[in-house]
């Protein structure tokens, strides 16, 4: 029997797909599948075939022939499939290849107990798993760099801001530790999404499973999954793994974008707190003095792209029936994958930016000294030294600050006499605050050192918090490495079994 013509892949329709259908849908879909899905799908085929033989559904001879053909396909690569866009997906070309190579009787047995529905969402989850493992590796690199930079700057005093205004003095290390904690929560969100993704739909069939005695737990285990999407209908009808992934990545990129805004602001002449490395900057074609923070602007734009991806992923499913349907299920793939690819690249770029960043501690400290971020500490000292209520002290300091600004004076030019006069004007009693006490209250370095409350910016407190967080980072890295190793080992085992059959 001629294997090339004995079976049909496109039985129900008589005409080939239209040109516009090919160019706008099937061709882009196939291009991505060939780049990212080919090896994953071969892995699924090998494991499914081995399971069929183990369960007595196909014979050992059939398994040997199928594995040999799959190994040959793996060696030859995607070009062996002769893509002509007359059929719509990667598996259909693979099945046509098997039928032509082995004949329809043997080549047609691989798809026993399986649908393109469960096959498609299985390989889709495997692709997303690979992308998320890459994201997590990039995220771990950024977390390490942020910790290292924070540790170097636990005594680099700078203004802290609320509403873009000087608020209270902090340190750059304290700011970065805040970002490190956000990144740890990003890690937890991404790991939760990865665990949701790393469940196997294989064996669910079109929607209701099959009467063949499949061993779904075996295929899940051999494909590196943590377990099953157990209910067959659920397995092929829902892609909340993609929704959850895109959501976690959108949150991550939002935080990254906010830090990029700060770095861009701090790199201006008005602040001059930091300077980006030349390798992360651009120039003007007309203005010779310009050094533009191109990397940061790119990162903010990429964050917007990922924010759009979660909207696209949810919108693809929102108005679809609760069942297997292309827009609601496979329509989630592209935005979720784009979000993962974009995020991984952005994390690596931000890591580089921070590694090459030049910090100017003296400029940060100068800004903290001349601004009025120490006003809160001055009010606290008045409460402690004079016994006034905090609200009264707040009124006094607000009056002192207002007058200093009106007179063009800086925070470090406020005197004890200014405080006493404001108290007399407001409450009819002067204050006897010494100049030494006043200077201490207005010193941003002492301000920071005094804030030893749990979670405060005092250098010793920050150093201790960083030390406590280092083991958690290592635990996360170990967990990621174990998952990565398990996936790699299962892939190598499966494809190695196929190659062994070819060599025999």
For 230-354, strand residue ranges (E) read 274-275
Token pair for residue 416?
A: 């004890």
User: Are residues 361 and 260 both part of a single domain?
Assistant: yes
Find the domain containing 67 and state its range: 19-112
Q: Give per-residue pLDDT as tens, 7-16.
A: 566 677 788 8
User: Are residues 329 and 468 both part of a single domain?
Assistant: yes
User: Are residues 79 and 107 both part of a single domain?
Assistant: yes
Out of 31, 284, 311, 389, which one is annotated catalytic? 284
User: Are residues 155 and 76 both part of a single domain?
Assistant: no
Active site residue 284: yes
User: Are residues 380 and 415 both part of a single domain?
Assistant: yes
Q: Give per-residue pLDDT as tens, 98-118.
A: 999 999 999 999 999 999 999
Which single residue is written with the structure tokens 């047609």?
108
Given CA atoms 497, 498, 503, 504 in this order, what sign does their dihedral have?
positive
Could you tell me the pTM of the whole model?
0.93
Ranking 1-5, 153-157, 272-276 by mean pLDDT, the lowest is: 1-5
Q: Give per-residue pLDDT as tens, 172-211.
A: 999 999 999 999 999 999 999 999 999 999 999 999 999 9
Residue 207 CA from chain centroid, whole number: 31
Q: Give per-residue pLDDT as tens, 458-471.
A: 999 999 999 999 99
What is the per-residue pLDDT for 88? 83
Q: Is residue 12 one of the residues assigned to a domain?
A: no
Mean pLDDT in residue range 234-256: 97
Mean pLDDT in residue range 323-333: 93
The Cα-based distances of 47 to 17, 51, 63, 104, 247 in angstroms read 32, 6, 11, 20, 31
Residue 5 reports pLDDT greater than 50: no
Mean pLDDT in residue range 234-252: 97
User: Are residues 334 and 396 both part of a single domain?
Assistant: no
Residue 4 reports pLDDT greater than 70: no
Q: How confident is the model at residue 426 (pLDDT cuts 50, 70, 90)?
A: very high
The closest alpha carbon to 124, from 343, 347, 342, 313, belongs to 313
Residue 2 reports pLDDT greater than 60: no
The Cα-based distances of 246 to 28, 138, 310, 313 in angstroms read 21, 16, 5, 7
CATH for 396: 1.10.40
Q: Is residue 68 one of the residues assigned to a domain?
A: yes
Residue 1 reports pLDDT greater than 60: no
What is the per-residue pLDDT for 3? 42
What is the per-residue pLDDT for 304? 98
Residue 389 reports pLDDT greater than 50: yes
What is the per-residue pLDDT for 497? 75
User: Are residues 337 and 391 both part of a single domain?
Assistant: no
Token pair for residue 449?
A: 């050192």
**Average pLDDT along the chain:** 94
The closest alpha carbon to 480, from 39, 134, 40, 128, belongs to 134
Mean pLDDT in residue range 21-47: 92
Q: Give per-residue pLDDT as tens, 117-162.
A: 999 999 999 999 999 999 999 999 999 999 999 999 999 999 999 9
Active site residue 163: yes
Nearest-angstrom CA–CA distance, 296 and 503: 52
Domain count, the chain: 3
Q: How confident is the model at residue 499 (pLDDT cuts 50, 70, 90)?
A: confident
User: Are residues 314 and 395 both part of a single domain?
Assistant: no
Mean pLDDT in residue range 258-268: 98
Residue 364 reports pLDDT greater than 90: yes
User: Are residues 80 and 105 both part of a single domain?
Assistant: yes
Ranking 17-31, 260-274, 445-459 by mean pLDDT, the lowest is: 17-31
User: Are residues 222 and 275 both part of a single domain?
Assistant: yes
Q: Is residue 8 one of the residues assigned to a domain?
A: no
CATH for 316: 1.20.200.10
Token pair for residue 38?
A: 């080919």
Nearest-angstrom CA–CA distance, 230 and 93: 29
User: Are residues 97 and 213 both part of a single domain?
Assistant: no
Angle between helices 375-386 and 435-442 (to 10 degrees): 140
């Amino acid at each position: 029997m001629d294997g090339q013509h004995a079976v049909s892949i496109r039985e129900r329709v008589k005409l080939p797909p239209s040109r516009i259908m090919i160019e706008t849908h099937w061709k882009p879909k196939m291009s991505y599948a060939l780049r990212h899905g080919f090896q994953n799908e071969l892995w699924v085929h090998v494991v499914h075939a081995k399971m069929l033989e183990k369960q007595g559904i196909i014979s050992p001879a059939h398994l040997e022939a199928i594995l040999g053909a799959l190994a040959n396909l793996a060696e030859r690569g995607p070009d062996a499939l002769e893509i002509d866009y007359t059929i719509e997906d990667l598996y259909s070309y693979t099945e046509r290849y098997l039928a032509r190579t082995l004949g329809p009787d043997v080549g047609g047995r691989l798809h026993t107990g399986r649908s393109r529905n469960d096959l498609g969402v299985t390989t889709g989850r495997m692709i997303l798993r690979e992308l998320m493992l890459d994201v997590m590796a990039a995220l771990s690199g950024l977390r390490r760099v942020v910790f290292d930079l924070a540790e170097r700057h636990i005594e680099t005093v700078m203004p802290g801001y609320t509403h873009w205004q000087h608020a209270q003095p902090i340190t750059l290390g304290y700011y970065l530790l805040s970002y490190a904690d956000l990144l740890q929560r990003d890690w937890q969100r991404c790991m939760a999404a990865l665990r949701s993704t790393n469940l196997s739909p294989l064996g669910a069939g079109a929607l209701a499973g099959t009467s063949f005695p499949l061993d779904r737990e075996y295929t899940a285990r051999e494909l590196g999954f943590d377990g099953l999407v157990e209910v067959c209908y659920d397995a092929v009808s829902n892609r909340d793994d993609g929704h959850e992934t895109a959501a976690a990545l959108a949150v991550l990129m939002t935080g990254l974008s906010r830090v990029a805004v700060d770095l861009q602001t701090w790199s201006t002449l008005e602040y001059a707190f930091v300077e980006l490395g030349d390798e992360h900057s651009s120039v003007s074609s007309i203005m010779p003095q310009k050094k533009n923070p191109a990397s940061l602007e790119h990162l903010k734009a990429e964050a917007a792209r990922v924010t759009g991806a979660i909207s696209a992923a949810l919108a693809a499913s929102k108005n679809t029936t609760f069942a297997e349907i292309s827009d609601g299920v496979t329509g989630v793939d592209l935005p979720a994958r784009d979000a993962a690819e974009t995020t991984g690249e952005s994390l690596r770029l931000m890591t580089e930016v921070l590694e090459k960043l030049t910090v100017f501690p003296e400029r940060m400290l100068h800004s903290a000294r001349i601004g009025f971020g120490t006003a809160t500490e001055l009010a606290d000292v008045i409460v402690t030294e004079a016994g006034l209520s905090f609200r009264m002290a707040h009124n006094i300091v607000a009056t002192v600050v207002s007058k200093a600004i009106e007179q063009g004076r800086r925070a470090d030019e406020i005197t004890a006499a200014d405080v006493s006069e404001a108290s007399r004007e407001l409450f009819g009693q002067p204050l006897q605050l010494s100049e030494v006490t006043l200077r201490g209250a207005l010193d941003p370095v002492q301000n920071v050192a005094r804030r030893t409350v749990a979670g405060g910016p005092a250098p010793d407190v920050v150093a201790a918090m960083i030390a406590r967080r280092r083991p958690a980072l290592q635990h996360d890295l170990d967990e990621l490495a174990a998952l990565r190793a398990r996936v790699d080992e299962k892939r190598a085992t499966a494809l190695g079994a196929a190659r062994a059959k070819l060599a025999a």
